[in-house]
Structure 1
Amino acid sequence: MGMHPLHEAAMRLADIGFSRPRSKTKDLVGLLLCHGARAWRSSQSRAVIRISARTPIGHAAVKIRLQ
């Protein structure tokens, strides 16, 4: 599993400060938008998706399960 979203945002802010001194505003806005979206997704409940396709005689043609 990845880093905590707040820790990852802090690390990116630290990297921005040292790498490119003049493009900070655009990078910061993008970083904050990305962080907000990531934090929102991580606060949502998990979803379970099941897809099954059957042949005309009833056999499973395709089974996909994402958890």
Structure 2
Amino acid sequence: MAMNENVPGVTPLPGRRAKPSRINLHPLHEAAMRIADLGLNRPKAKTKDLVGMLLTHGARAWRSTQPRAGIHLHVTAPGRRQPLKMRIL
């Protein structure tokens, strides 16, 4: 049985705590399930999207208030070539 199969009625072993099913899903399978949910207009999916958007927005707002970090990098190469090009925004 693949780890991504959604099998109703499967219970965890006695003495073990059940984990939320979202943790066990492979990222590609989870993405496919979310795409499939788009056409169904389920309220649960809308709620998850709203919560995810609010968490993402909050994390982005927090990062924007943090001081800028500077990076000083020395890289040597034979001749005067640029061995490394890096751009961090």
Q: TM-score, normalised by structure 2?
A: 0.37
Q: Which has the higher strand share?
A: 1
Q: Which has the higher helix share?
A: 1
Q: TM-score, normalised by structure 1?
A: 0.47
